[in-house]
Chain A
Amino acid sequence: MTTTRIEVAPVRVAGGTWSDDLRAVRIVWRRELVRFFRSRARAITSLVQPVLFLFVLGTGLSPLIASGGHIDFRTFMFPGVIAMAVLFTSIFSAVSIVWDREFGFLREMLVAPVRRSAVVLGKCLGGATVATVQGAIVLTLAGLVHIPYSIRLLGLVGEMAVAAFALTSLGALIASRMDQVESFQVVMQLLVMPLFFLSGAVFPLRHVPTWLGVLSRIDPLTYAVDAMRRTAFSGLHLPAPLAFLRGGITWGSHVVPLGLEVLLVAALGAVMLAFAVARFARTE
Chain B
Amino acid sequence: MIVPNGAPAVSARDLHRRFGEFEAVRGVTFDVAPGEVFGFLGPNGAGKSTTISMLCTLLRITDGRASVAGFDVSKEPREVRRRIGLVFQDTTLDDYLTAEENLRFHAELYGVPRETMGEGIRRVMQLVGLTDRASSLVRTFSGGMKRRLEIARGLLHSPRVLFLDEPTVGLDPQTRDHIWNYINELRRREDITIFMTTHYMDEAEYCDRIAIIDDGRIVVQGTPDELKASVGKDRIEIRTEDDDAAVEAMKRMFGVEATRADGVVRAAVEHGEEFVPQLFARLGIPIKAVSIARPTLDDVFLNYTGRTIRDAEATGAQLMRSNVWMRARMR
List chain A positions with a Cβ less than 8 A from chain B. 2, 6-16, 20, 23-24, 26-28, 31, 34-35, 38-39, 101-105, 107-115, 119, 176-179, 279, 283-284
Contacts and interface: CB of A to CB of B under 8 A. Distances in A.
B59 A283 contact: yes
Contacts of A109: 109
A8 B82 contact: no
B159 A14 contact: yes
Contacts of A284: 58-60, 328, 330-331
Interface in B302-331: 328-331
Interface string B90-106: 11111111000100111
B291 interface: no
Contacts of B83: 13-14, 113
A1 to B, nearest CB: 10
Given A6-B182, A13-B82, A176-B331, 12 more contacts: A9-B116, A9-B158, A10-B190, A13-B160, A14-B112, A15-B111, A20-B111, A26-B108, A39-B96, A111-B84, A178-B331, A284-B328
B81 interface: yes
B120 A9 contact: yes
A11 B58 contact: no
Contacts of A13: 82-83, 160
Interface of B: 56-60, 77-78, 81-84, 86, 88, 90-97, 101, 104-106, 108-112, 116, 120, 123, 155-160, 181-182, 185-186, 189-192, 328-331
B58 A283 contact: yes
Contacts, number: 126
Q: Is the interface of A mostly helix, strand, loop or mixed?
A: loop
Contacts of B110: 14-15, 112-113
Residue with the greatest number of chain A CB neighbours at <10 A, chosen from B56, B109, B182, B328: B109
A11 B109 contact: no
Given A9-B120, A105-B92, A283-B57, A34 B111 contact: no
A104 B88 contact: yes
A106 B109 CA distance: 12
Contacts of A6: 181-182, 185
Nearest to A119: B109
A23 B109 CA distance: 7
A110 to B, nearest CB: 6
A176 B331 CA distance: 6
A27 B108 contact: yes
B93 A113 contact: no
Given A104-B88, A179-B329, A14 B157 contact: yes
Contacts of B78: 16, 113, 115
B93 A105 contact: yes
Contacts of B185: 6, 8
A216 to B, nearest CB: 32
B322 to A, nearest CB: 13
B169 to A, nearest CB: 15
Given A28-B109, A284-B330, A14 B82 contact: yes
B140 to A, nearest CB: 13
A184 to B, nearest CB: 15
